[in-house]
Amino acid sequence: MPYHPRLLASALVALLVLGSLMGCARAGAAQAQQHLEAGRSLLDEGKPEQALRELEQAVRLDKGSAEAQYLLGNALVRCGELDRAASAYEAALRLDPEHVSARSNLGVVRYRQGQTEAAIREFQQALQLQPDDADIHYNLGGAYAQLGQLEQAIAEFEQAMRLDPNLAQPYLGLGLVYKLQGRKAEAIQALQRYLELSTDPEWRAQAEVALREIQEGS
């Protein structure tokens, strides 16, 4: 079956932005640390705009903190400021080249910016540092799928599932790729498993639409 990029564009755009790494903050000024922890808490509470203000202060007060730059990037992603987020992640990586979450999240930003090949490079580098991370394998699979490299995508989704059988997203990705390949029974099985695991209404709706299309033969 020929690859139709638009069929995957909406469903596989939601790569996983990794959360904060507790205990990774660089020792710095007490005031900077207070802003960093306040920003982290606000991100956890779903208040990215308020977190952004705190984290900008943390970065201003401690320019050598990779964790502050990383969390700033997370806040900027949630505020939709992708260019600034990429710059923050790059700053974190200059300070700490082995900051896996900054590397992976930079890949997510590149993906959202339409720079899929650059995203793949970032995910691959992240996996060199942390090869057993299911979320990053899923993200890499999504990027491969977006380029039409479907066998590579399947391999990454399956690896994510082996590492974390209860992670829902790889089953959705796998089901959509199988659907494109005309592998109906396997697609149905993967999508049904996704629906068993996922509580996200938007992506459950995507899976339900895909299931109906398979069952109706479209």
Q: Is residue 101 in some structural domain?
A: yes
Q: Which pair of structure tokens corresponds to residue 115?
A: 């720079």
Q: Is residue 191 in some structural domain?
A: no
- Cα 3 to Cα 113, 178, 181, 182, 196: the distances in Å are 21, 12, 8, 11, 28
For 173, what's the count of Cα atoms within 13 Å in the CB-facing half-sphere?
Answer: 34
Q: What is the span of the domain harbouring residue 99?
A: 31-131
Residue 79 sits in a domain of what CATH number? Answer: 1.25.40.10
Q: Which long-range contacts (CB under 8 A, 24 or more apart) does 40-46 make?
A: 40/71, 43/71, 43/74, 43/75, 43/78, 44/20
The DSSP 8-state label assigned to residue 35 in this structure reads H
Q: Is residue 60 in some structural domain?
A: yes
Global pTM value: 0.85
Residue 143 gets the label, from left (phi > 0), alpha (psi -120 to 50) or beta, of alpha
Q: Is residue 203 in some structural domain?
A: no
pLDDT attached to residue 30? 80
The DSSP 8-state label assigned to residue 64 in this structure reads T
Q: Is residue 217 in some structural domain?
A: no
pLDDT attached to residue 25? 44
pLDDT attached to residue 24? 43
Each residue's pLDDT tens digit in the chain (218 positions)? 232 232 333 334 456 666 544 444 444 568 899 999 999 999 999 999 999 999 999 999 998 999 999 999 999 999 999 999 999 999 999 999 999 999 999 999 999 999 999 999 999 999 999 999 999 999 999 999 999 999 999 999 999 999 999 999 999 999 999 999 999 999 999 999 999 999 999 999 999 999 999 999 85
Residues 6+ apart with CB under 8 A from 118: 107, 110
Q: How many domains does the chain have?
A: 1
Q: Is residue 204 in some structural domain?
A: no
